[in-house]
Amino acid sequence: MIYISCPEIVLQEVRIVAKITVNKKTYETDADPSTPVLWIIRDEFGLTGTKFGCGIAQCGSCTIHIDGEPRRACITTLASVAGKEITTIEGISTASDHPLQKAWIENDVPQCGYCQSGQIMAAAGLLAKKKDPTDADIDAAMNGIICRCGTYNRIRAAIKQAAMQGGK
Amino acid sequence: MGTKIDRRLFLKASLTAGGALLVSVAVPGSSRAMSASLGHGTMADGGFQPNAFIKIAKDGKVTIVIGQSEMGQGVLTSLAMIVAEELEADWSKVSYESGPPDKAFINPLIGSQVTGGSTSVRAFFMPLRKAGATVREMLVSAAAQGWGVAPETCKAGNSMVTHAASGRSAGYGELLDAAAKITLSTEPKLKDPKEFKLIGKSVKRLDTPEKVNGTAEFGIDVNRPGMLFGSVQRAPVPRGTVKSVDDAPAKAVKGVVAVVNLGYGVGVVAQNYFAARKGRQALKIVWDEGSNATVSSEAILASYKDAAAKESGKAAKSVGNVATARSGAAKTVEAEYFAPFLAHATMEPMNCTADVRADGADVWCGTQSQLVVQGSVAKALGLAPEKVGVHTMLLGGGFGRRVGVDYVMDAVMLSKAAGKPVKVVWTREDDTQNDFFRPATFNKLSAGLGADGKPVFWHHKIVNGSIMGELAPAVFGFPFPADQMDDSSYEGAHNLPYSIPNFQVDWIRKDTGIPLGFWRSVGSSHTAFSVECFLDELAAAAGKDPLEYRLSLLDPKSRFAGVLKLAAEKAGWSTKPAAGVGRGIAVAESFGSYVAQVAEVSVGKDGSVKVNRVVCAVDCGQTVNPDTIEAQMEGGIIYGLTAALYGEITVKNGRIQQGNFNNYKMLRMGETPKIEVHILPSSEPHGGVGEPGTPPIAPAVVNAIFAATGKRIRSLPIRAADITG
Ligand code: FES
Ligand code: FES
């Protein structure tokens, strides 16, 4: 929010409204443009699938796609996403039938589940680029996403399974 | 406050829980809240709730109410399986919900509604089977009465009662009205385990679908109408307090609604979380850092070493005569082991949402101890416990951290001050630095070998702080005298399975002021490291194979020997590992389960350690959901391996030096070894599974490093310099 002073009128408040697109839907917000988009998505738009884990781009719990690329919502300001397309875990499929989601269920991947939105978003970013990822590809794409419950081996198996089923 | 009852519950807990996790229900007033128990009544929607655990809707759908907290260990599914098995419910239509604080959900192994000590299945297996069986019998009786046939001639299955002779059948939903008139039997006939359809079979977890589409609701996801957001600045030193605060700059931040001096910190309430954080940054606080201001890790280690050298402590166990045996030993081995403070680092940072009103309060959070939360909030607000609603959300990890109520109180006090619902979310740094840490532990070990290489004596001195000394008065509300023994400090060390004629374990309690808590596998998280590595040293001194040496000291029929042999066989222990690879083995019992692990490790010239493969054998008695057991072993191994390779919390001038994942590192995908889990078939009673996977991994890896390099690591985390040096 900023204040503009005019000679006649003392102060007039002007709301800066940002329009952002999340999961193909347009949202408006007048939040401080320097707010990390993580909190906007979660607290203003009510899309709480994207999680907070560290706030400094260390854990990947907040991974979303911005124009199709996996990005960390905790260090991405609202100002920087104007006009861009954001996809969150809620947007990759409404019916939990994305090949990755199916493979996650098939392999019983989640334990506490807290990191899993970030894991799936990172994996989706990988499969969009590499249809048949090697172990090294998986390591490179997934190393940034911490799972404190230690579900890594099941994540790897699920990514391979989804890849086999042509998932992206 | 029902002191007598509470005390008795505590004593009961200490006797039955094997010393693993002693928690009392002694929170003021909580026993009153517990006196009203749920169950037996018609629900608003026409469904029927015959007891606290089961709800049946008119369409026959069964909802199982779980009083234990889901923190990743799969308890929603495992406990639901147990009920559904006896209820003969159609599993494809079973769902679950989290129960409120209630007497019915008191964990009989602990004496309060606590999820911890790897007890859920152990504690609730029989109560839940009975709960399911009584309702099954009730439904069968209802159907039989309606048909005018003997109940014995009817059969329940797939949420239906059938009478084969007449070909009649009725779904559970159709039987509710008639069932509601039937008195529940207290001694139902349980199924023959041979007929189990669910128990013992790997069943997909019920909570997975919601965890892969973003709809699972954790504490941090709670949203209430009119809710504000809070952030609390705590003292830079544990237990420091606010001397004075200048809150004007914080109040000037747009969106900030209130600044609240909490004594232990200053809370900022704002219209959004970002504003709360900005307001918090603007606070100018002068702290009274208190007596912890000078605490440092180096000084703690030095004082622990000194204590081990000069003090004898108190015997946790003493067999034979160590002093006499020492003088007669052919060969003596001595070593010192150290394990540092560790933070839990649950993936979901601490958080809570509270709505405090004049006449009552509600809190929404992930908690491992609902009744402690309820009692503590009630006490703080001067309310009757039944006026405090506790809504258990999914926990983004617990590992023992969420037995506390500190993070709950933040939200409660800020909501009280703001007069609105408030959600408080800790930063990762808040979470790491204000933890209840795994105690730093120093060990002085000595053992003597006889002519045959077998130990003739074993003397282990353990120096650390007392977890119960910390939590009993602060969280659970009962005293823990300074001279009381605390199993959690030395469990796993004083109950070694090896046959050693002269055996002594002494505990020297040295509290440091650094807050302590239960960290996944508690005492065994460090005792398995010291004892299983030292035993490896004895095997080396005796010139024996580490597996053969262990087996030679164990009853061949023991469960320890069973898992050791299975792990060794599956790992190919008798074959030579690939060049440059070392293999190590370790075994530990914790929470009633026996776990052996073989680690295969490569060590680089620079001392870098890569764990390639872990083979795990577990004997946890009878099983409920084998896939969950495997998952918990995998997770427990990663948790312990993270600690072995990276885990270290250090203190300087009272300040915790680590804050976030950049300096408190977690194991990642690329460092994760292949893990194979083998479950030993067993008809023994259930053991725990949430924690027992953790203890053996550090010693297995350290022993493997020794096998690969001849270097013995005696201080965790494993450092390259200790290998190359
Ligand atoms: S919360 Fe964004 S990377 Fe951790
Ligand atoms: S499933 Fe718990 S942090 Fe990944």
Q: pLDDT tens digit string along B184-227?
A: 888 999 999 999 999 999 999 999 999 999 999 999 999 999 99
Q: Are residues B471 and B545 in the same domain?
A: yes
Among B212, B245, B262, give the residue marking a domain's end: B212
Greater model confidence, B46 or B188: B188
What is the structure's pLDDT at B577? 94
Ligand 2 centroid, distance to B474 Cα (angstroms): 29
Both tokens of B709, joined, read: 């390099």
> Do the beta carbons of residue B402 and residue B471 sit within 8 Å?
no
Q: Are residues B527 and B609 in the same domain?
A: yes
Residue B576 has pLDDT above 50, yes or no: yes
Q: Are residues B656 and B619 in the same domain?
A: yes
What average pLDDT does chain B have? 93
Q: How confident is the model at residue B23 (pLDDT cuts 50, 70, 90)?
A: very low
| CA distance to partner chain B, nearest, from residue A7 (Å) | 25
Q: How confident is the model at residue B38 (pLDDT cuts 50, 70, 90)?
A: low
Distances (CA, A) of B328 to B160, B502, B524, B539: 72, 12, 31, 19
Q: Are residues B185 and B97 in the same domain?
A: yes
Both tokens of A126, joined, read: 């990988």
Residue B1 has pLDDT above 60, yes or no: no
Residue B448 has pLDDT above 90, yes or no: yes
The 10 Å Cβ neighbour count of residue A168 is: 15
Among B425, B458, B490, give the residue marking a domain's end: B425
β-bridge pairing B422-425 and B256-261: unpaired
Q: Are residues B163 and B14 in the same domain?
A: yes
| CA distance to partner chain A, nearest, from residue B223 (Å) | 8
Q: Are residues B176 and B135 in the same domain?
A: yes
Residue B428 CA, chain-centre distance (Å), reads: 20
What is the structure's pLDDT at A8? 44
Interchain contact B631–A (C-beta under 8 A): yes
What is the structure's pLDDT at A95? 79
Asked if B214 and A89 come within 8 Å (Cβ–Cβ), the reply is yes
Of A51, A30, A57, A24, the residue nearest A121 (C-alpha): A51
Chain B residues lying within 8 Å of A156, measured CB to CB: 669
Residue A145 has pLDDT above 80, yes or no: yes
Interchain contact B646–A (C-beta under 8 A): no
Chain B residues lying within 8 Å of A46, measured CB to CB: 223
What is the structure's pLDDT at B29? 32
Q: Are residues B168 and B307 in the same domain?
A: no
Is residue B431 included in any domain, yes or no?
no
State mean pLDDT over B378-385.
Answer: 97
Residue B528 has pLDDT above 80, yes or no: yes
Ranges of CATH 3.10.20.30 domains, chain A: 18-91
CA angle B241/B243/B245 to nearest 5° reads 110
What is the structure's pLDDT at A167? 58
Query: Is the bond preceding residue A36 a cis peptide, omega within 30 degrees?
Result: no
What average pLDDT does chain A have? 91
Rounded-to-integer distance, Cα B7 and Cα B477, Å? 10
Listed ranges A93-107, B29-43, B663-677; the one with the highest mean pLDDT: B663-677
Asked if A148 and B672 come within 8 Å (Cβ–Cβ), the reply is no
Distances (CA, A) of B79 to B66, B190, B703: 7, 16, 37
Distances (CA, A) of B703 to B534, B598, B676: 9, 9, 19
The 10 Å Cβ neighbour count of residue B539 is: 21
Q: Give the number of domains in chain B.
A: 3
> A61: Cβ below 6 Å to ligand 1?
yes
Q: Which residues contact A25 (CB under 8 A, 6 or more apart)?
A: none
Ranges of CATH 1.10.150.120 domains, chain A: 99-164
> Do the beta carbons of residue B613 and residue B625 sit within 8 Å?
no
What is the structure's pLDDT at A14? 57
Asked if B254 and A32 come within 8 Å (Cβ–Cβ), the reply is yes
Asked if B212 and A120 come within 8 Å (Cβ–Cβ), the reply is yes
Rounded-to-integer distance, Cα B636 and Cα B641, Å? 8
Residue B717 has pLDDT above 90, yes or no: yes
What is the structure's pLDDT at B11? 29
Distances (CA, A) of B27 to A33, B1, B239, B405: 46, 8, 22, 12
Tens digits of residue pLDDT in B158-182:
999 999 999 999 999 999 999 988 8
What is the structure's pLDDT at B40? 61
Tens digits of residue pLDDT in B466-503:
999 999 988 888 889 999 999 999 999 999 999 999 99
- Sheet-wide strand order for B422-425: B256-261, B265-270, B228-234, B422-425, B351-357, B360-365, B388-392
Rounded-to-integer distance, Cα B176 and Cα B244, Å? 62
Whose structure tokens read 């999961």?
A: A23
> Do the beta carbons of residue B135 and residue B84 sit within 8 Å?
no
Distances (CA, A) of B694 to A99, B462, B519, B621: 32, 20, 10, 18
Q: Are residues B505 and B446 in the same domain?
A: yes
In B510-592, beta strands by DSSP E: 581-590
State which amino acid sits at residue B464. Answer: N
Q: How confident is the model at residue B419 (pLDDT cuts 50, 70, 90)?
A: very high
Helix (H, G, I), strand (E, B) or coil at B102: coil
Q: Which residues contact B110 (CB under 8 A, 6 or more apart)?
A: B13, B17, B21, B22, B23, B116, B117, B119, B123
> Do the beta carbons of residue B532 and residue B699 sit within 8 Å?
yes
**Residue from the list A1, A111, A142 with its beta carbon closest to the beta carbon of B669:** A142
Fold of A18-91: Ubiquitin-like (UB roll) (3.10.20)
Rounded-to-integer distance, Cα B12 and Cα B707, Å? 44
Helix (H, G, I), strand (E, B) or coil at B444: strand
Is residue B602 included in any domain, yes or no?
yes
Interchain contact A93–B (C-beta under 8 A): yes
The 10 Å Cβ neighbour count of residue B359 is: 6
Interface list for B 555-574 with A (CB within 8 A): none
State mean pLDDT over A22-35.
Answer: 95
Is residue B1 included in any domain, yes or no?
no
Q: Are residues B84 and B159 in the same domain?
A: yes
Interchain contact B549–A (C-beta under 8 A): no
Q: How confident is the model at residue B246 (pLDDT cuts 50, 70, 90)?
A: very high
State mean pLDDT over B610-636.
Answer: 98
> A110: Cβ below 6 Å to ligand 2?
yes
Tens digits of residue pLDDT in B279-321:
999 999 999 999 999 999 999 999 999 999 999 999 999 999 9
Residue A44 has pLDDT above 80, yes or no: yes
> A60: Cβ below 6 Å to ligand 1?
yes
> Do the beta carbons of residue A106 and residue A160 sit within 8 Å?
no
Rounded-to-integer distance, Cα B468 and Cα B478, Å? 10
Distances (CA, A) of B430 to B103, B276, B434: 33, 14, 6
Percent of chain B with pLDDT over 90: 88
| CATH architecture designation of domain A99-164 | Orthogonal Bundle (1.10)
State mean pLDDT over B532-558.
Answer: 98
Q: Are residues B149 and B283 in the same domain?
A: no
What is the structure's pLDDT at A13? 52
φ/ψ of B195, rounded to 5, equals -95, 5
Q: How confident is the model at residue B41 (pLDDT cuts 50, 70, 90)?
A: confident
Q: In this structure, what CATH number is given to the domain that contains residue B123?
A: 3.30.365.10
Is residue B2 included in any domain, yes or no?
no
The 10 Å Cβ neighbour count of residue B194 is: 5
Q: Are residues B336 and B413 in the same domain?
A: no
Rounded-to-integer distance, Cα B226 and Cα B242, Å? 29
What is the structure's pLDDT at A12? 46
Is residue B413 included in any domain, yes or no?
yes
Q: Are residues B225 and B201 in the same domain?
A: no
Chain B residues lying within 8 Å of A73, measured CB to CB: none
Q: How confident is the model at residue B112 (pLDDT cuts 50, 70, 90)?
A: confident
State which amino acid sits at residue A132. Answer: D
- Sheet-wide strand order for B168-171: B155-157, B160-163, B168-171
Residue B33 has pLDDT above 70, yes or no: no
Give me the domain span that covers residue B60: 10-212
ipTM: 0.93
Bin B513: left if φ > 0, else alpha if -120 < ψ < 50, else beta: left
What is the structure's pLDDT at B357? 97
Q: How confident is the model at residue B20 (pLDDT cuts 50, 70, 90)?
A: very low
Percent of chain B with pLDDT over 70: 94
Rounded-to-integer distance, Cα B37 and Cα B113, Å? 13
Chain A residues lying within 8 Å of B212, measured CB to CB: 89, 96, 100-101, 104-105, 109-110, 116, 120
Both tokens of A130, joined, read: 């590499």
Interchain contact A35–B (C-beta under 8 A): yes
Tens digits of residue pLDDT in A86-106:
999 999 987 789 999 999 999
Residue B32 has pLDDT above 90, yes or no: no
Q: How confident is the model at residue B3 (pLDDT cuts 50, 70, 90)?
A: very low
Among B377, B394, B425, give the residue marking a domain's end: B425
Q: How confident is the model at residue B339 (pLDDT cuts 50, 70, 90)?
A: very high
Ligand 1 centroid, distance to A89 Cα (angstroms): 15
Both tokens of B4, joined, read: 């007598």
Please spell the DSSP secondary structure of chain A, one letter per residue: -EEEE-SSSSEEEE---EEEEETTEEEEE-S-TTSBHHHIIIIIS--TTS--S-SSSSS-TTEEEETTEEEEGGG-BTGGGTT-EEE-GGGS-TTS-SHHHHHHHHTT--SS-TTHHHHHHHHHHHHHH-SS--HHHHHHHHTTS--TT--HHHHHHHHHHHHHTT--
What is the structure's pLDDT at B372? 93
In B108-181, beta strands by DSSP E: 155-157, 160-163, 168-171
